[in-house]
């Protein structure tokens, strides 16, 4: 199927297409939900007030992107957007594992020893990848998704520029900052690989033109881009130390995230909030 | 979100010799409705009153993000998540805007934002009483937006014509955004009020708990209550128009009918509007407790300051890294 699918109703008529499309949407939605959730925990704790304003603006946009993907899933009959965001079990989640990682020691309510180096490296790595993935779906065969991707791509350059600036500034400042950043880069290198993957339906996603480039090409583009900014590239290949979130494998950190983000939702599932 | 709290221990700094001619010209300008700018001559007590007011306002915006922030990651729907994120982000933005105004005023004393943060952590710089209070349920997220921000709108619109230009201009924008915040809060409250028994219970419990803080919000009626008050000087210099009690009355007139129409009650069976006296009669909150709260001895003062302190210390390496050299990117 290489023609343009204009509506959810049309997409639902082809089981293979629908399955690959939903899988892709869950990846996009869950990635943005988790990184936005981690960002929302940082609120009020950033290195200075200006950064708090900027980071919370980015986080808010990112949560908005997640909401758009969940809405597309709702249109496809996957369930209500709010239930998809708040009510799915960890093994049903498709976000890359590195995105669920805690911000540091403590919790946002108690002794939050969060690490800004992790925030910078994670957001830079993720936003760099997000651009590549969005460009790969901006001409997707599923028109409603392509429309959303193009809309997100309009906001995205500011997000990426923000984190790239932090990478460059901290990467060329004090010895302590350089070391902290490099340590987090090395750590990310061992954990980031599943973020770059499209999961078990990768071949269908590509052959059905849901994504216009395959996962190998996405990964190469990401590496090329990252190498232009990183001072020191870790030796060896990218790893997925804790497995693949694209297959529903996750860590305890995801459970903590879901318990928090759905605390009020879980307190009364019948209530309208 | 904000309010100015009168408290007696303002510290006097550099003494500037009184210049009657300049003073008279200054008074004539503000009497004529002219706005004073950062580089203009101004009396020492005017500058000091402004620094205290605006730094407290700015820091209250930033500390005020903390109680609401407790509910940002937990907001129950995607729409509520987006709403409360935007709202708290605005508050941080107000803090930033106001700290910039305060920085200009502090310049002659060689003080910076770093000093303000240290004053906050030493409890020398006060933040508003409401932000020393705990948040316990999602209803509190609504209550802060609806009634706390509602109270803030009343006290801020009272200064929309303040004689100090940079503050007055900042307030125009802040007040516009606060109206959205109050609507955001009201929307959360309406959903709870129209919701099930559990939702109505947490709503009423929240209002009961916030009630004394809301009355305290505007500060005591007179200086006798807490030992000192800057109300007089603020009115003399045309920074604000109304007294604390006038503002509290305006708040009660605006919100009591709304509280009652939602089927809610407040924990004061004596409250009523007296037609003869043309004012609300209500039970005074415990002003001794108020004094303790704003001195940093409130229920959550220690924890909130601790979070600020951790953020400040834990990110010191970042600020140092940024200060090492200017990086052109």
CB of B206 closer than 8 Å to CB of B139: yes
Q: Which of residues 1-30 of A touch B (CB under 8 A)?
A: none
CA distance B168 to B35: 9
Q: What is the pLDDT of residue B106?
A: 96
The residue of chain B with its CA nearest to that of A257 is B73
Task: Give A254-260 contacts, CB < 8 A, sequence gap 24+.
Answer: A254/A34, A254/A90, A254/A93, A254/A95, A254/A97, A254/A100, A255/A90, A256/A102, A257/A34, A257/A37, A257/A38, A257/A100, A258/A90, A258/A93, A260/A37, A260/B73, A260/B74
Q: Which of B55, B59, B89, B174 is best to mutate for the A interface (most A CBs within 10 A)?
A: B89
For residue B228, what pLDDT is reported?
Answer: 60
Measured between CB atoms, which of A40, A106, A176 is closest to B73?
A40
The CA R_g of chain A, rounded to the nearest whole Å, is 18
Q: Domains in chain B, start-ordered, CATH in brackets?
A: 41-321 (1.20.1260.10)
> What residue numbers bound the domain in which A119 lies?
8-267
> Does the pLDDT value for residue B292 go beyond 50?
yes
Q: Does residue A102 sit within a domain?
A: yes
CB B281 within 8 A of CB B270: yes
Question: Environment class of residue B237 by beta-carbon count within 10 Å: exposed (0-12), middle (13-18) or buried (19+)?
Answer: buried
B92, B98, B120, B140: best to mutate for the A interface, most A CBs within 10 A: B92
| pLDDT for residue A3 | 83
CATH number assigned to the domain comprising residue A102:
1.20.1260.10
Residues paired with A105 in a beta bridge: A113
A112 and B311 within 8 Å at the Cβ level: the answer is yes
Return the pLDDT at B103: 97
Tell me the average pLDDT of chain A. 97
State the DSSP H helix or E strand holding residue A104, giving kind and residue range, or none if neither. strand A104-105
Task: Quote the pLDDT of residue B225.
Answer: 65
Residues B1 and B144: their CA atoms lie apart, in Å, by: 9
Q: Residue B73: is it exposed, middle or buried by C-beta count within 10 angstroms (0-12/13-18/19+)?
A: buried
| A150 domain-assigned | yes
Structure ipTM: 0.95
Q: In the 3-class helix/strand/coil scheme, how is chain B assigned residue by residue?
A: CCCCCCCCCCCCCCCCCCCHHHHHHHHHHHHCCCCECCCCCCCHHHHHHHHHHHHHHHHHHHHHHHHHHCCCCCCCCHHHHHHHHHHHHHHHHHHHHHHHHHHHHHHHHCCCHHHHHHHHHCCCCCCCHHHHCCCCCHHHHHHHHHHHHHHHHHHHHCCCCCCEHHHHHHHHHHHHHHHHHHHHHHHHHHHHHCCCHHHHHHHHHHHHHHHHHHHHCCCCCCHHHHCCCCHHHHHHCCCCCCCHHHHHHHHHHHHHHHHHHCCCCCCCCCCEEECCCCEEECCCCCHHHHHHHHHHHCCCHHHHHHHHHHHHHHCHHHHHHHHHCCCCC
Q: Do residue B78 and residue A268 have CB atoms under 8 angstroms apart? A: no
Q: What is the mean pLDDT of residues A129-158?
A: 98
A272 falls within a domain: no
A-B CB pairs within 8 A amount to: 151
**Rounded Cα–Cα distance for residues A137 and A247 (Å):** 21
Angstrom distance (rounded) from CA B257 to CA B248: 15
Query: How would residue B3 be classed by pLDDT, with cut points 50, 70 and 90?
Result: very low
Q: Which residues of B touch A88 (CB under 8 A)?
A: none
Q: What is the rounded CA–CA span in Å between residue B44 and residue B95? A: 24
User: Nearest Cβ partner of A49 from B78, B95, B307?
Assistant: B95
Q: What is the pLDDT of residues B177-220, one digit of tens each?
A: 999 999 999 999 999 999 999 999 999 999 999 999 999 999 99
Number of domains within chain A: 1
Pairwise CA distance, residues B328 & A165, whole Å: 10
pLDDT digits (tens, 9 = 90+) for B24-61: 999 999 999 999 999 999 999 999 999 999 999 999 99
Taking an 8 Å cut-off on Cβ atoms, the answer to whether B95 and A70 are in contact is no
Q: Is residue A32 part of a domain?
A: yes
B292 to chain A nearest CA, in Å?
23
**Mean predicted confidence (pLDDT) in B71-95:** 97
Q: CA-to-CA distance for B68 and B80, rounded, in angstroms?
A: 13
Model pTM greater than 0.90? yes
Residue B58, number of CB atoms within 10 A of its CB: 27
Residue A57 maps to a domain = yes
CB distance B329–A170 less than 8 Å? no
**Neighbouring residues of B168: CB distance < 8 A, sequence distance ≥ 6:** B35, B159, B160, B161, B162
- CB–CB of A45 and B76 under 8 A? no
**β-strands B279-281, B272-274 pairing:** antiparallel
pLDDT recorded at residue B4: 43
Distance of CA B283 to the CA centre of its chain: 23
> Does residue A214 sit within a domain?
yes
Q: How far apart are CA B184 and CA B192, in angstroms?
A: 13
What pLDDT does residue B6 have?
42
pLDDT over threshold 60, residue B328:
no
Give the per-residue pLDDT at B262: 97
Residue contact B72–A47, C-beta within 8 A: no
Whether residue A55 lies within 8 A of chain B, CB to CB, comes out as: no
Examine residue A178 and state whether it is found in any structural domain, yes or no. yes
Residue B190: closest C-alpha in chain A? A273
- Is residue A2 domain-resident? no
């Amino acid at each position: 199927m290489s023609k343009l699918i204009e509506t959810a109703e049309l997409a639902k008529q082809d089981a293979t297409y629908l399955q690959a499309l939903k899988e892709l949407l869950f990846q996009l939605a869950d990635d943005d939900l988790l990184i936005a959730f981690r960002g929302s925990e940082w609120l009020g704790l950033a290195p200075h007030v200006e950064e708090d304003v900027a980071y919370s603006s980015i986080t808010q946009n990112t949560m908005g992107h997640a909401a758009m993907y969940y809405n597309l899933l709702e249109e496809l009959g996957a369930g209500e957007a709010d239930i998809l965001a708040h009510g799915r079990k960890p093994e049903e989640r498709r976000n890359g594992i590195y995105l669920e990682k805690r911000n540091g020691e403590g919790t946002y309510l108690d002794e939050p020893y969060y690490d800004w180096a992790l925030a910078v490296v994670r957001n830079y790595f993720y936003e760099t990848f997000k651009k590549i993935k969005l460009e790969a779906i901006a001409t997707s065969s599923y028109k409603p998704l392509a429309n959303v991707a193009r809309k997100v791509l309009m906001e995205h350059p500011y997000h990426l520029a923000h984190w790239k600036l932090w990478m460059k500034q901290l990467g060329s400042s004090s010895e302590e900052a350089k070391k902290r950043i490099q340590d987090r880069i090395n750590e990310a290198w061992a954990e980031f690989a599943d973020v770059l993957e499209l999961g078990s339906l990768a071949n269908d996603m590509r052959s059905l033109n849901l994504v216009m480039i395959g996962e190998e090409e996405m990964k190469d583009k990401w590496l090329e881009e990252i190498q232009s900014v990183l001072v020191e590239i870790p030796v060896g290949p990218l790893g997925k130390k804790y497995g693949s979130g694209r297959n529903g494998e996750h860590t305890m950190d995801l459970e903590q995230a879901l318990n928090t983000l759905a605390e009020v939702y879980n307190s009364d599932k019948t209530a309208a909030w | 979100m904000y309010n100015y709290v009168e408290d007696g221990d303002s510290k006097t700094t550099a003494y500037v010799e009184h210049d009657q001619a300049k003073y008279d010209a200054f008074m004539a300008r503000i009497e004529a409705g002219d706005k004073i700018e950062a580089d203009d001559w101004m009396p020492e007590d005017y500058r000091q009153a402004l620094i205290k007011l605006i730094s407290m306002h700015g820091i209250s915006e930033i500390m005020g993000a903390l109680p609401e922030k407790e509910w940002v990651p937990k907001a129950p729907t995607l729409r509520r998540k987006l709403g409360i994120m935007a709202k708290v982000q605005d508050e941080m933005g107000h803090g930033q805007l106001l700290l910039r105004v305060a920085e200009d005023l502090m310049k002659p004393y060689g003080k910076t934002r770093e000093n303000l943060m240290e004053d906050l952590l030493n409890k020398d710089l006060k933040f508003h009483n409401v932000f020393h209070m705990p948040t316990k349920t999602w209803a509190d997220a609504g209550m802060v937006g609806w009634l706390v921000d509602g109270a803030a709108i009343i006290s801020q619109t009272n200064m929309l014509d303040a004689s100090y230009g940079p503050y007055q201009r900042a307030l125009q924008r802040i007040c516009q955004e606060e109206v959205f915040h109050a609507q955001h809060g009201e929307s959360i409250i309406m959903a709870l009020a129209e919701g099930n028994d559990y939702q109505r219970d947490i709503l009423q419990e929240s209002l009961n708990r916030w009630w004394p803080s809301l009355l305290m919000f505007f500060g005591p009626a007179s200086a006798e209550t807490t030992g000192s008050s800057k109300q007089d000087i603020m009115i003399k210099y045309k920074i604000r128009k109304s007294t604390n009690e006038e503002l509290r009355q305006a708040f009660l007139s605006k919100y009591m009918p709304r509280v009652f129409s939602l089927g809610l009650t407040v924990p004061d069976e004596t409250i009523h509007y007296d037609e003869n006296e043309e004012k609300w009669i209500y039970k005074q909150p415990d002003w001794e407790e108020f004094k303790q709260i704003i001195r940093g001895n409130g229920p959550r003062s220690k924890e909130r300051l601790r979070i600020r302190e951790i953020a400040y210390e834990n990110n010191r390496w970042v600020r140092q890294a940024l200060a090492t050299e200017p990086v052109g990117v």
